[in-house]
Amino acid sequence: MQDIERLRNVLLTECRVDYVGLWEVISHVEYETGQSDRRMVREIAMALIAQLLQEGLIKAGAPNDTGGFIEWELSPEEAVRRINDEWTALGREPNLGDIVWFTSTEAGDIHVREAAK
């Protein structure tokens, strides 16, 4: 699906430039796919996050007080499970600062540079 490939590239590019929160992933899914059904948006977002984590292109965690990034010490599967569990426990759609942030890995940076050629 072309929208999903464009969405992958948008997210990877943004993760290369800055930390990206889960709420931003949701927003990109809505915009790039035109999907408005909340269940489908969540499914697409989680599938994309799982794929990018499993491919080693992004890492999950949170920014710290000094501007660094604290990566979760979890496998991709454990990170996806944690995100899903915390999203369910939240009882609403994630907002600014909720649950998780993402940043690009070196492999993700390379992928973005290669895709730009």
pLDDT in tens, 3-22: 678 889 999 999 999 999 99
Q: Which CATH superfamily is domain 2-115 in?
A: NMB0513-like (1.10.3510.10)
Residue spans per domain, the chain: 2-115
Q: pTM for this one?
A: 0.93
| Radius of gyration of the chain measured on its C-alpha atoms | 13
Query: Closest by alpha carbon to 45, among 63, 20, 70?
Result: 20
**Is the pLDDT score of 24 beyond 80?**
yes
For residue 60, the one-letter residue type is A
Exposed e or buried b per residue across 9-19, where buried means at least 16 C-beta atoms within 10 angstroms of its C-beta: ebbbbbbbeeb
The pLDDT value recorded for residue 1 is: 47
**Is the pLDDT score of 61 beyond 50?**
yes
Dist CA 60 CA 73 (whole Å): 9
Mean pLDDT, residues 25-48: 94
Mean pLDDT, residues 36-54: 96
Strands (E), 1-117: 20-21, 58-63, 69-71, 101-104
The pLDDT value recorded for residue 117 is: 78
